[in-house]
Amino acid sequence: MMLDRFYPIFDHADWLRRMLPLGVKLVQLRIKDQPDAVVRDQIAQSRDLCRAHGAVLVVNDFWQHAIEAGCEWIHLGQEDLDAADLNAIRKAGLKLGVSTHDDDELERVLSMGPDYVALGPVYPTILKKMKWEQQGLPRVTEWKARVGDIPLIGIGGMSVARAPSALQAGADIISVVTDITLNADPETRVREWIEVTR
């Protein structure tokens, strides 16, 4: 199946309640520092919301919970990969998206046969303190040539204005966090994103 080109990331099911009715079709639930019961409940709520709206839910990190909840997609960062049981993930039929930042990480991930590869940060980002300042658009083009048919996601410092350049450079999908969650009018911003990516 084709994934949508707009891929927002949220930390709570309440965001999905607000944004899915606007037409979001691909969304990541990224929960940090919450007790296990909250994580399970959030994944279950998000799964049901996405099913009701015909959207794809990607669960960040919590692959065991994703399997238990009958989810279809998991996203793993590089640190998560070290601890994850890839055989169990594959056996459960989960599709796998992975973050990459440099050549070594990309080589490692490509050997796993991922269902998408994320490259970041394309632009400077306020979200995470990273040892990678910014990758830039030429790196997006290079990565796309290397991943071939695997969908490439550009993330980091993304804005509606920057989206067309990133897509032209080779990104198949644009992922965004703070441009929506810190926006004074997140609903309007999501509508703008949907317009620019479709």
- List, for residues 93-150, the tens digit of each pLDDT value: 999 999 999 999 999 999 999 999 999 999 987 666 666 668 899 999 999 999 999 9
Q: What is the spatial distance between Cα 20 and Cα 40, in angstroms, rounded to a whole number? A: 20
**DSSP per-residue letters across 24-73:** --EEEE---S--HHHHHHHHHHHHHHHHHHT-EEEEES-HHHHHHTT-SE
Tell me the CATH number at 155: 3.20.20.70
- Encode pLDDT of 16-32 as tens digits: 999 999 999 999 999 99
Of 52-56, 79-83, 143-147, which gets the smallest average pLDDT? 79-83
Residue 105 covered by a domain: yes
Residue 33 covered by a domain: yes
Q: What is the spatial distance between Cα 92 and Cα 99, in angstroms, rounded to a whole number? A: 21
What is the reported pTM? 0.96
Residue 59 covered by a domain: yes
Can you say whether the dihedral through the CA atoms of 6, 12, 119, 61 is positive or negative?
negative
Give the per-residue pLDDT at 130. Answer: 60
Residue 78 covered by a domain: yes
Residue 1 covered by a domain: no
Domain tally, the chain = 1
Please give the residue range of the domain that contains residue 87: 6-197
